[in-house]
Structure 1
Amino acid sequence: MKEERNGSAIATPFQQAPKNQTPRPLIRTIDAIALVIGIIVGAGIFRTPSIVAAHTGSAELFLCIWLLGGVISLVGALCYAELSTTFPNTGGDYHFLMRAFGNRFAFLFAWARLSIIQTGSIALLAYIVGDYVSQLYPIGAYSSALFAALVVITLTAINMLGVRFGTGTQNLLFAVEFLGILSVVLVGLFAHPSPERLSVLPLASENNTSIGLALVFVLLTFGGWNEAGYISAELKAGSRKMVWVLAISILATTMLYLLVNWAFLHALGIERIAASDAVGIDLMRVTFGEAGVFLIGILVVMATLTSINATIFTGARTNYAVGRDFKVLSGLGKWNLKTSSPINALMVQCVIALALIGLGAFTRDGFQSMVDFTAPVFWFFFLATGISLFVLRKREPEAVRPFRVPLYPLTPIIFCGACAYLLYSSLAYTGIGALVGVAVLALGMLFFFAIR
């Protein structure tokens, strides 16, 4: 079979989805922006500033690293904007890798996303909510896992009701999260904790300056903007608006991160930030006491719920795409026209995420282990997507490109270099978890050959 796209033909050895089971353009531009920012801005902004501060040592360098993270993310977003506007598809990265490297590599990515990247992220985020809620309402030894599972089931059910329910929930969560973060910024900039309260917070004894390591955590905090590629085919205004969705999302997130970190600096100072394990909690504790700790806990939960909902929404799109392309997995490729959602893909994603949550219930160090498990695989495929821009420029030069990444090839080279560095860093700082991730990838390739 041949697929015609923008005047070029490429070989496609997969099945064609029925027209009545394909996505419809129902997502508004504002919904897409809220979705992308919601994925990026999660609980990480309340944890990583202390790690970044410990590896910078000065307020000026601390803020510059966060700005640099936004610049690198914007460079990557420009690369994704060209791919998304030229080849709009619900599969996102999966579709770009399919066109550039073939169905085997794309299947491997879809397998990794289903079994490692996306479901692992959902489980980790759900555990953050479970841990916070179980502190307020403990219901037993496994209360964190039970609350985490309840979150995943509830948000999956909401997204199964339809795209309007999913995006509506996202907009509501995003609004609450934004107001909460804005309140933290105002507290940090305008409240003046007493010296007595500040004195109870420890000061960092020494700073081990490491710009590279600091940047790793900053870029991890910026992670998630690439999820925009999975909704490019569902934008009401057309895929060309994806450029604005990505640009506005990255710029807004960068400004928000700079404001939050400026507020932390103003209220606590670089030494106290570097010594903190939970800088947001420390800020609210020295300002409002234990009542402030409760409020920041609620904010962290809302921020995490926003990220979980958006991750569930976009993650199911890859599962749908691989089910659409591979006949033996056609159950995943069913698109419910009434709700405009991939119900089967959402259900399978939910089951795997629940299995990972169950695993975490019996291995309480599972949070860090799963970070090790997911990070190298994530950055490997991120790098591959950046390389696909070069491949598709050469392979399909006649394709209509509504947006071309500026300063080509310098811009994508910078992006690929950043991804390669983060891939190296994630392998250098992880242990057996990375090997387990590679083993799961190998299992995916064996599965592919088995189903051909």
Structure 2
Amino acid sequence: MYRESGLSDKEEKKAEVPLKSAPGSAAEPKPALGMTDAIAVIVGIVIGAGIFRTPSLVAANVQSGGMFVMSWVLGGLVSLIGALCYAELTTTFPHTGGDYHFLTRAFGKRVSFLFAWARMSIIQTGSIALLSFIIGDYLAQIYSLGNYSSVVYAALVVVVLTGINIIGLKTGALTQKLLIALEILGILLVVVAGLFFAPEQVAASGSEAEGTTGGNALGLAMVFVLLTFGGWNEAAYISAELRSGKRGMAKALLLSIFIITAVYLLINLSMLNALGLSGMAQSKAVAGDLMKVTLGEGGVVLIGLIVSVAALTSVNATIFTGARTNYALGKDFPVFSALGKWNARTSSPVNALLLQGAISLALIGLAIFTRNGFETIVEYTAPVFWFFLLLVGVSLFVLRKKEPQRTRPFPVPLYPVTPIIFCLTSAYLLYSSLAYTGLGALVGVGVLIVGVLLLLALPTLEKWLHQQHK
């Protein structure tokens, strides 16, 4: 049976030492990832297809080119504050369960169970389905397979990348590095096209102040900016598998945020230079319009391939980290024990990957009945994600109080100001995601309520399982 708060003595002792398998014990995660692997996973999750969609939405809500650029700089700073908080948590409590482990130590297994349920049924699987749809939509334009081309392509993406990660950790990490290399090449092409091949009349005015219809909605602009920066917190799920140890995790987080911010600034400066602020605000496909005005019709096909690679990079990284929470859930709750099995040969949680893939395919299948699947999944995931990110921020304060004697290799600078800013930002994004979304958000909250009901039934289920094993 689970305990309502805290960890068992056995789990506390286990948390003090690196996760590795003792002779004759069940297989567990081993430190097998290098620094570049960790950075590739973090950068790959964050820099996805979103950066090719959201700049036009940000441009529509600011008054000048300077404010537009500043909003992306501010997004990087807010993300850096969050990364500093996560650096303390991941270096103090390295564990393959990531946020799940932090929430367990701070609030007990009831809260962490709901988090694991949310990641399994809403957050990660919704993100995987969302990104796979982006790829499917672009590939369907290049080669149609019929009325359900996007659905078929999206499903193939989930099946293939899940299979690659089941084959093994090294294969998944190698695939991630290859994809991110292709993604960076594509981004460099967009940057060069926007900065050096823009029409002269646009380039001359692109950075000047240009009023927009939504110029007083900087807060809404920041919602889109911070959503585009989202995903760096996935580093928590590989903290126990990093060879360079605790300090290496903090370094990987901070370097990743600097890389992401620099890339985002370059992309947005190139778009601003090629289209101007008003041109970006009016664009429905800002990256496509940039390539069209700089390289012609051929550039439109090229940007489709670049966006597909960017989305593939994020899908692979999301599959890689998402299954780790399911694994942690299986280790703690007998009802889900099948998920808590680690394959020592491939160094991957095979059952957890299979379940995650199946739920993602089910969400993709919903598109057969509705063509608003993309927007619905965005609404479906956002409120739940920001709610639990806020709880992780609060857990830093709770764990400081509950475990003051614990060695903290990387204490968050300027405590408590830094984590307070992180919590306030997460709370604002939670409010925004509920205020600006519709039915999808209610469905996501409904699925979370189903998790609450399942939590209440867990003691009965575990008692029944115990009797069956007698």
Please tell me the TM-score bracket, short chain as reference.
over 0.9
- Larger CA deviation: 442-451 vs 270-279: 442-451
Check conservation: 1:89, 1:232, Cα contact below 8 A: yes
The superposition leaves residues 97-130 of structure 1 with CA deviations (integer Å, 9 ceiling, x where unpaired) of: 0000100100000000000000000000000000
RMSD: 2.0
1:442 to 426, 446, 449: 449
2:197 to 167, 186, 191: 191
CA distance in 2, matches of 1:194, 1:409: 49
2:26 counterpart SS class: helix
CA distance in 1, matches of 2:108, 2:360: 28
Matched, 1:253 2:296: no
Q: CA deviation at 1:437?
A: 1.5
Residue 274 of structure 2 corresponds to which residue in structure 1? 267
Give the length in aligned residue pairs. 442
Check conservation: 2:91, 2:246, Cα contact below 8 A: yes
Aligned ranges 1:46-445 → 2 under 5 Å: 46-193=52-199, 206-445=213-452
CA distance in 1, matches of 2:454, 2:305: 42
Q: 1:8 to 1:186 in 2, by over 3 A?
A: closer
Q: 1:196 to 1:241 in 2, by over 3 A?
A: closer
Q: 1:180 to 1:8 in 2, by over 3 A?
A: closer
CA distance in 2, matches of 1:205, 1:22: 54
Amino acid at match of 1:128: I
Q: 1:440 to 1:192 in 2, by over 3 A?
A: closer
Check conservation: 1:173, 1:302, Cα contact below 8 A: yes
Check conservation: 1:8, 1:398, Cα contact below 8 A: no
Unaligned runs of 5+ in 2: 1-7, 17-21, 205-209, 460-470
Amino acid at match of 1:436: V
Q: 1:309 to 1:196 in 2, by over 3 A?
A: closer
| Percent sequence identity over aligned pairs | 61
Q: CA deviation at 1:204?
A: 8.4
Residue 42 of structure 1 corresponds to which residue in structure 2? 48
TM-score normalised by length of structure 2: 0.91
CA distance in 2, matches of 1:424, 1:121: 20
2:411 counterpart SS class: coil
Amino acid at match of 1:178: I
Residue 464 of structure 2 corresponds to which residue in structure 1? none
Q: 1:8 to 1:259 in 2, by over 3 A?
A: closer
Residue 13 of structure 1 corresponds to which residue in structure 2? none
The superposition leaves residues 335-392 of structure 1 with CA deviations (integer Å, 9 ceiling, x where unpaired) of: 0000000000000000000000001221111211111111000000000000000000
CA distance in 2, matches of 1:195, 1:81: 46
CA distance in 2, matches of 1:249, 1:408: 22
Unaligned runs of 5+ in 1: 10-15
CA distance in 2, matches of 1:291, 1:83: 47
Q: CA deviation at 1:5?
A: 4.2
Q: CA deviation at 1:207?
A: 3.6
CA distance in 2, matches of 1:371, 1:307: 15
Amino acid at match of 2:9: K
CA distance in 2, matches of 1:196, 1:325: 58
The superposition leaves residues 372-431 of structure 1 with CA deviations (integer Å, 9 ceiling, x where unpaired) of: 111000000000000000000000001111110000000000000000001011111112
Q: CA deviation at 1:446?
A: 1.4
TM-score normalised by length of structure 1: 0.95
Check conservation: 1:240, 1:402, Cα contact below 8 A: yes
1:269 counterpart SS class: helix
Q: 1:185 to 1:197 in 2, by over 3 A?
A: closer
- Larger CA deviation: 295-304 vs 189-198: 189-198
CA distance in 2, matches of 1:333, 1:110: 13
Amino acid at match of 2:297: E
Q: 1:41 to 1:196 in 2, by over 3 A?
A: closer
CA distance in 1, matches of 2:177, 2:102: 28
